[in-house]
Amino acid sequence: MARASHDHESKAGAFFMATLVMWAVSIFFEILFNRRTELVWVVAGFCFYQSANWVIRNWVSRDPLFVNTCVSLLHSSITSASVVFILVNQWMTKGSYEIFEHSQLFGGTWPWAYQALCFSCGYFAYDQLDMLRYRLYGGWIPSILLHHLILLVCFTLALYRNVTINYLILTLICELHSIFLHIRKVRRMAGVRDADSKIVKVEWVLNLSTFVFTRFGSHILITIKLIKDAPKFGKGVELPLALFGMAAMNLLNIFLGIDLFSAYRREKNSQQNCHNHHE
C-alpha cells in the first residue's frame, strides 16, 4: 500500500515537473523570440526567491520544509506590501469607484501592477520547483502543486495577453493571510506551541480574521464582480478562465478554512487536556 502511494506521488511529481518545464520554455520563448522584455520580471522573481532559499539554507537551517516556509513568508510579506501600495496609490489618485470599474480591472494596468504580478509569478515557479525537488507534498493529486499550477497558468496567460492584470492583483490580497499561515508553521517548527501564550493568541486572531476578510471574503467578492460584469467580457477566453480560476481558488479556500479551524480547535483542546492532566 505504501509502495502504491509512493508510485502515485512519483507520477504526480513527474506530471507537475513536466508542466513546470513547459511553462519555463514558454516564458523564455516569449522573452527571447517575441521580445517580451517586460517578462524578465518573472525570471527576476524566480532568481530572487531562489537566492533567498540559498541564503537561508546555508546560514540558518538545512531543513527543506523550514527553508521553504521562510521563503514563502518572505514572498507573502513582499507581495502583501506591494498590493497594498498599489491599491492605496490608486485609491488616492483615482478614488475608490473608478479603480473597481470593469475597464480598469480588465483592460487597465495600475502602476507597478504588471511587475508585481510577474515577480509573484516567478515565486510560484520557484516554489513549485522547490517542493518537487524536496518532495514537500503528499497525496495522489497534491493540492499545493495543483494550486500553484492553476496560478501559473492564469497569471502567465494574463501577462501574455496583458489583460485582467488588476483583477489578479486583487486576488493577491490573500497573501496578507498567508503571512500568518507561514508564521504559524515557523512558530510550531521552532517549538512554540503554548496555546495560552499571548503571542499565539494574537497570532490566531490575526490568522483567522485575515482568512475571513482577505482570503475567503475577498475571493468571493471578486467572483461576484466577475459574474456581475460577465456581459462586458466579450467572447474571449478571459471570462471562462477567470471563473474557473476563482472557482478553484474558492474551493481550495473552503478546504483551507476547514483545516485552519480544525487546527485551532486541536491546539485549544490539546492545551486544555494538558491543564487537566496537571490538575
Residues 185-217 pLDDT 10s? 998 898 887 777 888 889 999 999 999 999 999
State residue 250 phi and psi, 5-degree precision. Answer: -65, -40
Sign of CA dihedral 29, 35, 36, 41: positive
d(CA 46, CA 49): 6
Contact 115, 172 (CB under 8 A): no
Looking at the predicted structure, is the pLDDT value of residue 94 above 50?
yes
- Domain limits, the chain: 2-278
Looking at the predicted structure, is the pLDDT value of residue 230 above 60?
yes
Which pLDDT score is estimated for 226?
95
Distance of CA 235 to CAs 64, 104, 238, 242, Å? 45, 18, 8, 13
Cell of 143: 493540492
Residues 11-25 pLDDT 10s? 888 999 999 999 999
Looking at the predicted structure, is the pLDDT value of residue 5 above 70?
no
Residues 57-69 pLDDT 10s? 999 999 999 999 9
Which pLDDT score is estimated for 1?
44
Which pLDDT score is estimated for 173?
96
Which pLDDT score is estimated for 207?
96
Average pLDDT score over the chain: 91
pLDDT mean over 75-95: 94
Contact 129, 122 (CB under 8 A): no
Residue 140 or residue 38, greater confidence: 38
Distance of CA 59 to CAs 47, 62, 67, 242, Å? 18, 8, 10, 41
